[in-house]
């Protein structure tokens, strides 16, 4: 920003926003807000923006958005569609600012929008489609090419002002440049055609042709809220501090500001800066600006009126340098981390970008609020380097234009909503109309008119007085004429002697002035050093704290390492125990399996043996049974033989058994049957239904539950025969013994032994078994 000379109407500069009273005193301008829509990537992509007129658009909530569905209308100074050419944008937006620039007025143009919305494309473009910056450079040189001041006559004083150099200094700088050409590749190099931009030949038509112009460029970036000079040729980019000049204008201290004499020289510098600019590859833009970049073009102009003896243009004393600046700012894009998925450094950058954009928004909102409510709330310019550097523009130091770049894709809807809100606020912010600016040099006094015409104390236009006549004609025939010529010569010589004296005195004066300037510089430097020292102290304190913390952390870390080692050892020993136990378990499992196999073999063998044994026993029992049955059969046959036929029985009268009888007299059959006491002759009771059965049963017989019951209509059941009368009862004629047992297969087998009760001679009774009934019950589901 350029200082204002004493000729400039004084503008009251406040630390706060430009007050309403200030505004009312001055002509007011609002920020010119334009909108540029980026073409959609894909024809099929849907847009959330509808153009209602060249100045009004509507933003519609897409169906998939969670926001309440509504339509917002925004008005801009002009809306450029996706089909708008770079030229169209330049002519509408930048051309008026350039016109102002060449008339000595400051201007700020910045692009604002979401990442990937076309800010860099609009401002820089590419070689085939140059953006605003290359077009501005070409237009400036197209307009002033014939009116350029010689190089190095004007030089930045590095304190935001300019100084005029003497011929000697100019010569010195030229010499330096010549020497450094081989070292520094910046200038006087053959122009690389690939790095240049197409020149459309656009011109500002009404430049003041009485003036001479010098153009200077500088290129800064604000990365993570730190200012860097992109044209600084030192190997590592050093952070720069922002300072206020004597007129309270913010500037980057020690920035490299280079005079350029052609568009190509300017592009070369821009390209050098561009290479240093921080770019990143994000999901939304493969070449995303990670910093805000500020390309400054300063044009210094002064009136040319006369030439000195050496033929140099003179700077008349009444015309000071007129300085104007155009700042082209490419803001980094706002980013929503959930869309960009940035991590690490990119995330940190994004947060800084969003923070600085937020402070820009806040400043503009406060400015707007102040203007609406007639209040004077301080504007928080100091919250970020970006707002601090641009502060003067918003306080009336120039025209301000903003291009809001918009990607109309529905995916950008929510970000676009915020951008539109910001645009609404910005377009209503009023700033004082910019004025022409004059330079207030810091170091050197510019030409002061002396009594002698064409003689200036300024080193840049110093002469030794009027020219000496080429030849002096002494005409002795005309002494008067000779006298006049000699007097003329004497007066010229007098002036020249005086001038020479002045000149010889001048170094002293200059030295004093220089001394004062150096002193001033010294004071500034000292204050800088002081603030740097304070900063350093703070940093040292911080670093001591950090070191102390680091020490604590190291101790803690050592403890943790020790504990970790112990735990590792414990883990190792536990692992060993587990391994041993695993081994034992495995052994046991193997042994168990072996034992199980052995047991299974033994069980199988035993089963075989038992089966064989059982088979043998069964066979044995069956054989025994068979033998018994045979015996019973034989008994039955014998009985049948003996007891039948009835006629024989009737023939032989029944003899009572006489116990007194000798065994010889007892019937033979009874002896044969083993019943020694049985009388030989007996009577068989009828088998008619009148038989009474003595049923001899166990205490709790298993119920047979079958229809196959022995048929005994009359019976007396006993569980044991305890006395003789149980069987000798003459009413009972039949005896039946029911025996239940399990057979070899575990099935219930009921045997009913039947026999006749026959009285014996001694008054007793005997049972002669004559029938066996076997009832075998088998489970239908039992496996055989």
Ligand X SMILES: Nc1ncnc2c1ncn2[C@@H]1O[C@H](COP(=O)(O)OP(=O)(O)OP(=O)(O)O)[C@@H](O)[C@H]1O
Which of 117, 463 has the CB closer to ligand X?
Answer: 117
134 lies in the binding site for ligand X (CB under 6 A): no
State the burial class of residue 275 (Cβ atoms within 10 Å of its Cβ: 0-12, 13-18, 19+). Answer: exposed
d(CA 291, CA 353) in angstroms, rounded, equals 7
Span from 109-117, 146-154, 342-350, 393-401 in contact with ligand X (CB under 6 A): 109-117
Residue 449 has which token pair?
């008119």
What distance lies between CA 318 and its chain's CA centroid? 62
The binding site comprises 113-120
Please say whether the beta carbons of 126 and 425 come within 8 A.
no
Q: Give burial (CB, 10 Å; 0-12/13-18/19+) of 422.
A: buried
Q: Which range touches ligand X (CB under 6 A), out of 110-118, 433-441, 670-678, 684-692?
A: 110-118
For the CB of residue 461, give the shortest distance to ligand X in the complex, in Å. Answer: 47
Q: For residues 346 and 772, which CB has a smaller minimum distance to ligand X in the complex?
A: 346
DSSP 252-309: ETT---EEESSHHHHHHHHHHHHHHS-EE--SS-TTEE-SEEEEEEEEEEEE---B-T
Is residue 406 within 8 A of residue 117, CB to CB? The reply is yes
Among 160, 214, 224, 285, binds ligand X (CB under 6 A): 285
Q: Which helix (H) or strand (E) holds 154?
A: strand 154-156
Question: Using the 8-state DSSP alphabet, how is residue 148 labeled?
Answer: B
Between 81 and 770, CB nearer to ligand X: 81
Place of tokens 């204008």: 249
Q: How far lies 681's CA from each of 9, 424, 639, 760, in Å?
A: 175, 146, 12, 10
Q: Does 371 bind ligand X (CB under 6 A)?
A: no
Residues in region 604-643 near ligand X by CB under 6 A: none
Residue with Cβ nearer ligand X (41 or 526): 41
Contact stretch for ligand X (CB under 6 A) within 111-119, 470-478, 513-521, 533-541: 111-119
Q: Does the protein bind ligand X through residue 333 (CB under 6 A)?
A: yes
Instruction: Name the segment binding ligand X (CB under 6 A); options: 112-120, 246-254, 458-466, 521-529.
Output: 112-120
Per-position x/- string for 381-420, each x denoting binding to ligand X as judged by CB under 6 A, each - no binding:
------------------------x---------------
For the bound state, the minimum distance from the C-beta of residue 391 to ligand X, rounded and expressed in Å, comes to 23
Q: CA–CA separation, 134 vs 661, rounded Å? A: 164
In this chain, which stretch among 43-51, 116-124, 255-263, 771-779 interacts with ligand X, using CB under 6 A? 116-124
If binding is defined by CB under 6 A, does position 32 make contact with ligand X? no
Tell whether residue 39 is a contact of ligand X (CB under 6 A): yes
Q: Which is nearer to ligand X, 132 or 324 (CB)?
A: 132
Q: 766 — alpha (psi -120 to 50), left (phi > 0) or beta?
A: beta
CB of 38 to ligand X, least distance (A): 4
118 sits near ligand X (criterion: CB under 6 A): yes
Residue 116 found at the interface with ligand X (CB under 6 A): yes
Least Cβ distance, residue 144 to ligand X (angstroms) = 29
Q: Tell whether residue 291 is a contact of ligand X (CB under 6 A).
A: no
Selected from 249, 288, 340, 732, the binder of ligand X by CB under 6 A is 288
Output the six-digit token pair for 242: 């922002």
The CB-of-125 to ligand X minimum distance in angstroms stands at: 8
Calculated CA dihedral for residues 267, 270, 274, 277, nearest 10 degrees:
180
Smallest distance from the beta carbon of 289 to ligand X, in angstroms?
A: 3
Angle between helices 413-427 and 344-373 (to 10 degrees): 40
CA–CA distances in Å: residue 43 to residues 35, 46, 115, 589: 21, 8, 20, 72
Asked if 292 is part of the footprint of ligand X (rule: CB under 6 A), the reply reads no
Token pair listed for 620: 């044995």
CB of 334 to ligand X, least distance (A): 8
For residue 264, the minimal CB distance to ligand X (Å) is 23
Taking the C-alpha atoms of residue 282 and residue 285, their distance in angstroms, rounded to an integer, is 5
Q: How far apart are CA 426 and CA 421, in angstroms?
A: 9
Q: Which of 3, 104, 107, 113 binds ligand X (CB under 6 A)?
A: 113
The DSSP letter of residue 763 is S
CB of 115 to ligand X, least distance (A): 4
**361 contributes a contact to ligand X by CB under 6 A:** no
* CB closer to ligand X, 104 vs 118: 118
Residues touching ligand X: how many (CB under 6 A)?
A: 17
Q: Which two tokens stand for residue 221?
A: 């970036």
In the bound state with ligand X, the residue whose beta carbon lies nearer, of 340 and 760, is 340
Query: Does 287 contact ligand X by CB under 6 A?
Result: yes
Choose between 107 and 116: whose C-beta lies nearer to ligand X. 116
Position among 92, 105, 119, 240 found at the interface with ligand X (CB under 6 A): 119
Could you tell me where the DSSP H helices lie in 35-163? 86-89, 95-102, 119-123, 132-144
Q: Terminal CA-to-CA distance of the chain, rounded, Å?
A: 116
Instruction: Give the nearest distance from C-beta 423 to ligand X in angstroms.
Output: 15
Nearer to ligand X, 38 or 322 (CB): 38
Q: How far is the CB of 200 from ligand X (least distance, A)?
A: 17
How many other C-beta atoms can be found within 10 angstroms of the C-beta atom of residue 701? 13
The verdict on 120 binding ligand X (CB under 6 A) reads yes
**Binding segment toward ligand X, per CB under 6 A, in 4-12, 113-121, 173-181, 623-631:** 113-121
Rule CB under 6 A: say whether 161 interacts with ligand X. Answer: no
Query: Which of the stretches 102-110, 280-288, 509-517, 676-684 binds ligand X when contact is defined by CB under 6 A?
Result: 280-288
220 contributes a contact to ligand X by CB under 6 A? no
Q: Considering the rule CB under 6 A, would residue 156 count as an interface residue with ligand X?
A: no
Taking residue 72's Cβ as centre, other Cβ atoms within 10 Å add up to 14
Residue 258, Cβ density class (10 Å: 0-12 exposed, 13-18 middle, ≥19 buried):
middle
Question: Which of 121, 152, 228, 251 is in the footprint of ligand X by CB under 6 A?
Answer: 121
Q: Is 269 or 332 the residue whose CB approaches ligand X more closely?
A: 332
Question: Which residues are known binding-site members for ATP?
Answer: 113-120
- Say which residues have a Cβ less than 8 Å from residue 299's Cβ, sequence separation at least 6: 101, 102, 104, 140, 144, 213, 214, 215, 216, 323, 324, 325, 326
User: What is the DSSP secondary-structure string of 490-533?
Assistant: HHHHHHHHHHHHHHHHHHHHHHHHHHHHHHHHHHHHHHHHHHHH
Pick the stretch among 49-57, 59-67, 117-125, 772-780 that binds ligand X (CB under 6 A): 117-125
In the complex, the smallest distance separating the C-beta of residue 45 from ligand X, rounded to whole angstroms, is 13
Quick one: which segment of 115-123, 135-143, 264-272, 477-485 binds ligand X (CB under 6 A)?
A: 115-123
Interface with ligand X (CB under 6 A): 38-39, 113, 115-121, 285, 287-289, 332-333, 405
């Amino acid at each position: 920003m350029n200082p204002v000379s004493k000729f400039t109407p004084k503008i009251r500069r406040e630390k706060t926003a430009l007050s309403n009273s200030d505004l009312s005193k001055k002509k007011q301008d609002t920020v010119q807000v334009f909108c540029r829509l980026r073409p959609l990537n894909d024809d099929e992509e849907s847009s959330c923006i509808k153009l209602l007129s060249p100045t009004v658009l509507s933003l519609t909530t897409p169906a998939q958005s969670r926001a309440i569905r509504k339509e917002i209308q925004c008005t801009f100074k002009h809306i450029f569609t996706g089909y708008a050419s770079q030229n169209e944008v330049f002519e509408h937006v930048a051309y008026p600012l350039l016109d102002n620039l060449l008339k000595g007025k400051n201007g700020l143009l910045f692009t604002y929008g979401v990442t990937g919305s076309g800010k860099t494309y609009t401002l820089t473009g590419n070689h085939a489609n140059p953006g605003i910056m290359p077009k501005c450079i070409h237009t400036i040189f197209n307009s002033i090419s014939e009116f350029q001041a010689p190089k190095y006559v004007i030089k930045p004083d590095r304190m935001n002002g300019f100084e005029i150099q003497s011929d000697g200094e100019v010569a010195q700088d030229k010499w330096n440049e010549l020497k450094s050409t081989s070292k520094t590749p910046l200038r006087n190099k053959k122009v690389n055609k690939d790095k240049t931009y197409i020149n459309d030949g656009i011109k500002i038509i009404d430049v003041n042709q009485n003036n001479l112009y010098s153009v200077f460029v500088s290129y800064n970036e604000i990365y993570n809220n730190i200012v860097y000079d992109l044209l600084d040729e030192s190997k590592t980019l050093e952070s720069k501090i922002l300072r206020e000049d004597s007129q309270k204008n913010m500037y980057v201290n020690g920035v490299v500001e280079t005079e350029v004499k052609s568009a190509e020289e300017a592009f070369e510098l821009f390209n050098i800066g561009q290479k240093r600019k921080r770019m990143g590859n994000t999901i939304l833009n493969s070449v995303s600006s990670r910093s805000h970049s500020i390309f400054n073009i300063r044009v210094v102009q002064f009136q040319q009126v006369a030439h000195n003896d050496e033929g140099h243009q003179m700077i008349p004393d009444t015309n000071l340098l007129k300085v104007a600046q155009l700042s082209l700012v490419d803001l980094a894009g706002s980013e929503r981390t959930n869309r960009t998925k940035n991590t690490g450094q990119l995330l940190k950058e994004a947060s800084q970008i969003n923070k600085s954009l937020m402070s820009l928004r806040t400043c503009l909102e406060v400015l707007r609020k102040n203007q609406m409510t007639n209040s004077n709330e301080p504007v928080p310019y100091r919250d970020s380097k970006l707002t601090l550097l641009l502060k003067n523009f918003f306080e009336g130091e120039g025209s301000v234009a903003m291009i809001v770049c918009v990607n109309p894709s529905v995916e950008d809807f929510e970000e676009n909503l915020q951008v539109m809100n910001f645009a609404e606020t910005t377009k209503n912010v009023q700033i004082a109309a910019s004025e022409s600016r004059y330079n207030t040099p810091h170091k050197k006094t510019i030409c002061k008119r002396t009594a002698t015409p064409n003689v200036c104390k300024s080193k840049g236009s110093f002469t030794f007085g009027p020219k000496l006549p080429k030849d002096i004609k002494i005409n002795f025939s005309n002494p008067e004429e000779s006298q006049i010529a000699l007097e003329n010569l004497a007066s010229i010589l007098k002036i020249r002697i005086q001038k020479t004296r002045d000149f010889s005195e001048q170094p002293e004066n200059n030295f004093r002035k220089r001394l004062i300037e150096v002193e001033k510089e010294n004071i500034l430097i000292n204050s800088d050093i002081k603030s740097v020292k304070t900063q350093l102290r703070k940093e040292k304190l911080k670093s001591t704290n950090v070191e102390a913390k680091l020490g604590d952390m190291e101790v803690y870390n050592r403890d943790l390492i020790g504990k970790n080692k112990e735990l590792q050892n414990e883990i190792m020993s536990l692992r060993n125990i587990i391994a041993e136990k695993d081994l034992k378990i495995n052994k046991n499992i193997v042994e168990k399996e072996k034992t199980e196999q052995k047991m299974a073999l033994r069980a199988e063998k035993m089963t075989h043996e038992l089966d064989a044994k059982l088979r043998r026993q069964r066979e044995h029992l069956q054989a025994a049974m068979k033998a018994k049955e045979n015996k019973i059969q034989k008994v039955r046959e014998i009985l049948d033989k003996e007891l039948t036929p009835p006629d024989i029985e009737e023939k032989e009268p029944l003899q009572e058994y006489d116990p007194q009888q000798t065994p010889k007299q007892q019937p033979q059959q009874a002896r044969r049957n083993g019943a020694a006491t049985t009388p030989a002759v007996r009577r068989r009771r009828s088998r008619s239904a009148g038989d009474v059965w003595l049923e001899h049963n166990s205490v709790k017989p298993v119920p047979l539950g079958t229809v196959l019951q022995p048929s005994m209509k009359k019976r007396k059941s006993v569980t044991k025969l305890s006395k003789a009368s149980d069987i000798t009862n003459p009413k009972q004629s039949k005896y039946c013994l029911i025996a239940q047992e399990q057979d070899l297969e575990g099935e219930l087998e009921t045997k009913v032994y039947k026999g006749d009760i026959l009285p014996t001679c001694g008054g007793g009774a005997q049972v002669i078994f004559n029938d066996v009934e076997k009832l075998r019950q088998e489970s239908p589901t039992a496996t055989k």
